[in-house]
């Protein structure tokens, strides 16, 4: 069975690079480019989603994803949420909101390896 990954990321270039690193025959990627889309996709597919990758700033440059992480956790989602940011300080905000893993966006191979580890791919 395919593992479903929800990626909440507004940067098209980063998203395409990330997909190139993590997509394989055992995974399916769902994308949201806004927090509103992320919330909608999550609640429509909550039972199917195996992992969430959440950028800290969607959209823009200010951290704003933390309330959505908290809402997802309150809904009963108990699988991994991987928080991504280029800012070290924002990574801690993601962790404090409930992200189970935080990773800098600067190294796609580290992100890929963590995703594959978490999903046992």
pLDDT by position in tens, the chain (length 121): 899 999 999 999 999 999 999 988 999 999 999 999 999 999 999 999 999 999 999 998 999 999 999 999 999 999 999 999 999 999 999 999 999 999 999 999 999 999 999 999 8
The answer to whether the bond into 59 is cis (omega within 30° of 0) is yes
What's the pTM value of the predicted model, to 2 decimals?
0.96
3-119 placed in CATH 1.25.40.10:
no
- SS3 label, residue 113: helix
- Written as one string, the DSSP assignment of 50-106 is EEEEEESSSSSSS---HHHHHHHHHTT--SEEEEEES-HHHHHHHHHHT-SEEEETT
- Spell out the domain ranges in the chain: 3-119
């Amino acid at each position: 069975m395919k593992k479903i990954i929800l990626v909440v990321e507004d940067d098209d270039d980063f998203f395409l690079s990330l997909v190139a690193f993590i997509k394989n025959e055992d995974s399916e990627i769902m994308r949201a480019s806004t927090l509103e889309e992320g919330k909608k996709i999550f609640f429509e597919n909550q039972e199917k989603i195996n992992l969430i990758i959440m950028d800290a700033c969607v959209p823009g440059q200010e951290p704003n994803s933390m309330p959505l992480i908290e809402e997802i956790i309150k809904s009963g989602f108990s699988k991994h949420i991987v928080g991504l940011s280029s800012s070290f300080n924002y990574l801690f905000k993601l962790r404090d909101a409930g992200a189970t893993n935080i990773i800098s966006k600067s190294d796609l191979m580290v992100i890929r390896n963590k995703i594959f580890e978490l999903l046992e791919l």
